[in-house]
Amino acid sequence: MDSASAVQWRLLSPAPLVFHAWQAEELVLVFHPLSGDTHLLDVLSAEVLRLLQSSPLQEETLRRHLLEWAGFSPEEFPLARLQTILQQLEHLDLIEQALS
């Protein structure tokens, strides 16, 4: 495991996020109770939030969960793609890097 994939991420706020999605739609609504913001996310980004809601996770652990959840091969879901998702969620003030 390289040092980049050892980076740990966590939700920015401890308040539980609220998720909602509809059958046959590849979009997920996420409500942040503390900010009052509603976010429209793709299913992968929403799943990242759902995983981080349980506990902070390292990038490699997150990636492993997502590969299993989505049925991707490692080539289909490189670490760089996960890192893009994490950066976008960080930009939305939903997650942050955790101190190791």
DSSP 14-35: SSPPEEEE-TT--EEEEE-TTT
- Of 13, 31, 44, 88, which one interacts with another protein (CB under 8 A)? 31
Give the number of C-alpha atoms closer than 13 A to the C-alpha of residue 56, restricted to the C-beta side: 14
- In the complex with another protein, the residue whose CB is nearer, 48 or 57, is 48
Binding to another protein by residue 24, rule CB under 8 A? yes
Angstrom distance (rounded) from CA 65 to CA 50: 11
Q: Shortest distance, CB of residue 16 to another protein, whole angstroms?
A: 9
Site for another protein in 3-22 (CB under 8 A): 18, 20-22
29 binds another protein (CB under 8 A): yes
Tokens of 38: 């509603």
Is residue 49 near another protein by the rule CB under 8 A? no
CB 91 within 8 A of CB 8: no
The residues that touch another protein, with contacts defined as CB under 8 A, are: 18, 20-25, 27-29, 31, 33, 36, 38, 40
